[in-house]
Structure 1
Amino acid sequence: MILSLLLSSFLTFVELNCENLFDTTHDVGKEDSEFLPEGKRHWTRTRYWGKLNRIGQEILSCSSCLPDIVALVEVENDSVLHQLTRRSLLRNAGYEYLMTTSPDVRGLDVALLFQPASFRPLCYESIEVPVLPGMRPTRDVLYVQGQIITGDTLHIYVVHAPSRYGGERETRSYRMKVAQMISQQVQLCHQENVIITGDFNDYIDNASLKYLEEFSLVNVTKNSQGKNGYAKGTYRYHGEWRSLDHFFCSEKVANRVEQTYINDEAFLLDEDTRFGGKRPLRSFNGVRFQKGFSDHLPLIVKFKF
């Protein structure tokens, strides 16, 4: 029994769409004027630093122990990640990070925070998504190969698939392209311990996610619920809880899943005055600033290796 405990290790992995985590400085060539002090959202340093600390608070509340790995979506640049990990509420948590530098029009990227004692990156790559006709340049996929404390090597992909702006059907092929690109890399490189996570901008019954499942990738979070009973998904639209955020794992890793849940702590939620019930407490209601967190809730998977 003691030997079994010594040879096993728990790994807590969080995914969170931060919803427009911009700094207050213009990035040349990017459409970020909305989130500047003189922009329509009046994105001041006070609001920005408040947002950084709330994201830190949100991450820390995901588990009784410090999450080992955190995949972040909708973060603007290296400056934001440096300030999040070095100067916010996370400053003593010891996180290091890797991130993409994408051709996304607004300048948004994805990132991976990790505890060096739990996860040691061996290599990483920013994989650009080919632009299809009518499609705007989108976020790169972040690929990280790394080793956990048991010696197992993980292949992690962080995704922020193209949005549904312009219509779900009209943009469906854009998200399918992301799924095809990742599946091809997993197959070509004969990767076994695979974890794909992020905001796929699709629900479990949509084509891009079904495509991933056809390649023996398991959606281990498809039935995840809020740990406090409020949330039935990570996202709420017109009063209906569903998930745009997912974890797909190869069968070998899926067998290591101990628990999945959504972090729906009361302070992350707001009253839905139109449809009733609760909804994520986002930073803005329209253009009205309300000191919120995000329009998505964190998704958590605990593995045992």
Structure 2
Amino acid sequence: MTLSMLLLSIFTFVELNCENLFDCRHDSLKNDTEFLPDGSYHWTRTRYWRKLNRVGQTIIACGVKGQSWQLPDMVALCEVENDSVLHDLTRRSLLRNARYDYVMTCSPDERGIDVALVYSPFSFRLIRSYSVRVEPIKDMRPTRDILYASGVIASGDTLHVIVAHLPSRRGGERHSRPFRMAAADRVAAVADSVYNVSKDAKIIIAGDFNDYANSASVRMLCGKRLKDISSEATGRNGAKGTYRYQGEWGSLDHILVSESLARNVADCYINDAPFLVEPDEKYGGVKPRRNYLGPRYQNGFSDHLPLVATFGW
């Protein structure tokens, strides 16, 4: 097998919560005032463009595999504000030569954050995409839409991708659990609609679930002929999860795949490249090199580490 044939047979998928990738302009319909130059986070254009390039650095690093490297084929992003941010990321940041395309949602989330799917048109030919609204239940705030996209990959198969950012744990895990279950039910409904057309469909569901592998929302989805391939993912440099809180690692981010796609999984790991982590002086070990700690600017990358899954075709 030639090297070019080998490269064509590998598909790299990344999931990343960007940690508040906002632009510097006020959207009068959203509560984004914290991320303005005169807001509490003092979000200037300098910080914005540095953040864009930091996201780009993170994505590029997810293409490193042993002694070889290639750009990831697809990236599911959470906590991105709007189309202008994705345009700047794919057309004006250090990713501009990657020639990525993207699709994203436009949600009723009060802060204005959304999800997006960035992809290489050379390895994924988009067929269709649309947003799915999550109707709030009692006491639930408007939340992020779910993004669905389908396209053809190099093997000729159709790949279905669902990107979700489930409601936060604000108010406590027990209080907010029904909200995440409501959103997870909508994710499951999208997957079911794909299965109704093709029982052997190749499906990826990825995003920040604000829940762990043993939580009700993830367990429910895994009961839909889906496998959480990220449940045991770890890093190479000390990370035991994608997120660390008070010294405890946990993975709120997940990549789930359909049974027919699970056989193509080559690897799934957390990218904790040295530049993405820093020493945890209080609890020991390392922690994600985040961009903000409360209102204090840390000049970092994100409070979440990216998940990387590779598939062989």
TM-score, normalising length: structure 2: 0.94
Mapped partners of 1:185, 1:49: distance in 2: 35
Aligned counterpart in structure 1 of residue 76 of structure 2, from 55, 71, 80: 71
Match of 1:18 in 2: 18
Question: 17-26 or 275-284, which moves further after superposition?
Answer: 275-284
Superposed CA offset, 1:213-244 (max 9, x none): 11111001111110x23101111111111100
Residue correspondence of structure 1 range 124-273 to structure 2 within 5 A: 124-190=129-195, 191=198, 192-226=201-235, 228-273=236-281
Change (3 A) 1:222 1:31: same
Letter in 1 for 2:231: K
Question: Moved runs in structure 1, 4+ residues, more than 3 A?
Answer: 5-8
Superposed CA offset, 1:77-118 (max 9, x none): 000000011111101111010000000000000000100010
Mapped partners of 2:47, 2:272: distance in 1: 23
Equivalent pair of 2:237/2:274 in contact (CA under 8 Å): no
Mapped partners of 1:296, 1:140: distance in 2: 20
Mapped partners of 2:71, 2:8: distance in 1: 18
Mapped partners of 1:195, 1:6: distance in 2: 22
Equivalent pair of 1:7/1:150 in contact (CA under 8 Å): no
- Percent identical pairs in the alignment equals 55
Mapped partners of 1:174, 1:81: distance in 2: 27
Superposed CA offset, 1:137-163 (max 9, x none): 000000001110111001100010000
Match of 2:66 in 1: none
Residue correspondence of structure 1 range 88-103 to structure 2 within 5 A: 88-103=93-108
Letter in 2 for 1:177: A
Over aligned residues, Cα RMSD in angstroms?
Answer: 1.4
Question: 184-193 or 97-106, which moves further after superposition?
Answer: 184-193
Mapped partners of 2:93, 2:10: distance in 1: 26
Letter in 2 for 1:116: P
Letter in 1 for 2:44: T
Mapped partners of 2:263, 2:9: distance in 1: 14
Aligned length: 302
Q: In the TM superposition, what is the alpha-carbon distance from 1:6 to its structure 2 partner? A: 7.6
TM-score, normalising length: structure 1: 0.96
Equivalent pair of 1:158/1:196 in contact (CA under 8 Å): yes
Match of 1:114 in 2: 119
Mapped partners of 1:154, 1:286: distance in 2: 39
Q: In the TM superposition, what is the alpha-carbon distance from 1:246 to its structure 2 partner? A: 0.5
Mapped partners of 1:265, 1:188: distance in 2: 38
Letter in 2 for 1:270: E
Letter in 1 for 2:189: Q
Q: In the TM superposition, what is the alpha-carbon distance from 1:286 to its structure 2 partner? A: 2.1
Mapped partners of 1:160, 1:9: distance in 2: 29
Q: In the TM superposition, what is the alpha-carbon distance from 1:263 to its structure 2 partner? A: 0.7
SS in 2 for 1:303: strand
SS in 2 for 1:189: helix
Residue correspondence of structure 1 range 73-88 to structure 2 within 5 A: 73-88=78-93
Match of 2:306 in 1: 298
SS in 1 for 2:98: coil
Structure 2: 5+ residue stretches without partners: 64-68
Superposed CA offset, 1:159-178 (max 9, x none): 10000011101010111112
Does residue 297 of structure 2 align to residue 289 of structure 1?
yes
Change (3 A) 1:65 1:8: closer
Match of 2:288 in 1: 280
Change (3 A) 1:30 1:14: same
SS in 1 for 2:147: strand
Superposed CA offset, 1:168-216 (max 9, x none): 0101011111221122232233242111000000001100001011111
Mapped partners of 1:273, 1:134: distance in 2: 39
Equivalent pair of 2:212/2:218 in contact (CA under 8 Å): yes
Q: In the TM superposition, what is the alpha-carbon distance from 1:276 to its structure 2 partner? A: 1.5
Mapped partners of 1:183, 1:101: distance in 2: 20
Letter in 2 for 1:278: V
Superposed CA offset, 1:234-279 (max 9, x none): 1111111110011111100011000111110111112212211110
